[in-house]
Amino acid sequence: MTDAQHRTRLRLGSGPRRDAIEFALGPAEIDLAALAELLDVISIRKLRFTGLLRPQGQSGWELDAELGATIVQSCVATLEPVTTRIDETVRRRYVAGSVPHDLPLEQEIPEDVDEEPLPASLDLAALATEALALAVPPFPRADGAPPADLDTAPPGAEPIRDEELKPFAGLKDALKRGN
């Protein structure tokens, strides 16, 4: 394990003596070039992941963090570089035990459940990577980029337009002809 990896992993122990842990990760702990390649973006100019991990109950932990990043992506319409600032709040609650395996498959999990099984150690760099991956805009557009209007008809065929896809567009005319 490298020194940078050592600083990004926290052992989550249980027992009577557990203290809150403050953390701050930046480019020294996370390789921005490798992360940009993983996320398929042009570059990551800035990245900061800071927060507090607090004990909760006998063996659980609660994480409250802020993720800040500046990324550069290609515009989906023009391929020009698009710079995006990302500021996200990251909250996780880690609890001892695992999800019961005897739950019926049809049972829905409430949306407000944010608990995860308690890991032996928490990889903060992996958590920052996950949070950033979820926050990266999937279809970045440069200011003033034209709307995407693609014709995908084969050669010689007439492309279908949005107006033609409306199933009830001719209903009014059909009703007039029927009367």
How confident is the prediction along the chain (179 residues), in pLDDT tens digits per residue? Answer: 444 444 688 887 665 567 888 999 999 999 999 999 999 999 999 999 999 999 988 878 999 999 999 999 999 989 999 999 999 999 999 888 755 545 555 655 555 456 788 888 889 999 999 999 999 999 999 988 887 666 667 888 877 776 667 777 677 777 777 76
Taking the C-alpha atoms of residue 148 and residue 150, their distance in angstroms, rounded to an integer, is 6
pLDDT at 158: 79
> Domain ranges in the chain?
3-147
Instruction: Give, in degrees to the nearest 5, the angle at Cα 147 between 162 and 70.
Output: 135
Count helices and strands (H / E) in the chain: 4, 7
| Percent with pLDDT over 70 in the chain | 75
Quick one: DSSP state of residue 50?
E
Cβ–Cβ < 8 Å for 92, 114:
yes
Q: How much is the pLDDT for 70?
A: 97
Q: Tell me, what's the pLDDT at 132?
A: 97
Q: How many CA atoms lie within 13 A of 124 on its CB side?
A: 28
Q: Which two tokens stand for residue 54?
A: 């607090």
Instruction: Specify the pLDDT at position 179.
Output: 61
| 32-71 tens-digit pLDDT | 999 999 999 999 999 999 999 999 888 789 999 999 999 9
